[in-house]
């Protein structure tokens, strides 16, 4: 991917989304997102809600996704 490339300017035509699920609740209670490589881009990805794909897509570089994966998340109830 070119530095400073606008990921939202890239087409998602042909993107193949794969569901990534967690929580192991199954059925309608399963919590999933869908992830796809952005066609024609290197190390760029689109993420959407598996239950409502029409709600929109967030786009990230691979580096941003790796930072998110490695981040320590603290959630208060």
What pLDDT, on a 0 to 100 scale, did the predictor assign at position 10?
96
Please tell me the distance from the alpha carbon of residue 20 to that of residue 51, in angstroms, as a whole number: 12
Residue with tokens 């890239």: 10
Inside any domain, residue 13:
yes
Please tell me the distance from the alpha carbon of residue 20 to that of residue 30, in angstroms, as a whole number: 10
- Domains: count for the chain: 1
Inside any domain, residue 57:
yes
Residue 50: other Cβ atoms inside 10 A: 16
Inside any domain, residue 41:
yes
Range list of H helices, 3-75: 62-70
What pLDDT, on a 0 to 100 scale, did the predictor assign at position 75?
62
What pLDDT, on a 0 to 100 scale, did the predictor assign at position 54?
92
Inside any domain, residue 2:
no
Please tell me the distance from the alpha carbon of residue 32 to that of residue 45, in angstroms, as a whole number: 16
Model confidence pLDDT, tens digit, residues 1-58:
456 689 999 999 999 999 988 766 667 777 889 999 999 999 999 999 998 999 999 9
Beta bridge partners of 4: none
What pLDDT, on a 0 to 100 scale, did the predictor assign at position 74?
65
């Amino acid at each position: 991917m070119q530095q400073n490339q606008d990921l939202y300017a890239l087409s998602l035509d042909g993107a193949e989304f794969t569901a990534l699920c967690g929580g192991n609740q199954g059925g309608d209670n399963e919590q999933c997102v869908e992830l796809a490589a952005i066609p024609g881009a290197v190390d760029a990805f689109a993420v959407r809600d598996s239950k409502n794909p029409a709600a929109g897509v967030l786009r990230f570089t691979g580096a941003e996704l790796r930072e998110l994966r490695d981040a320590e998340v603290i959630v208060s109830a």
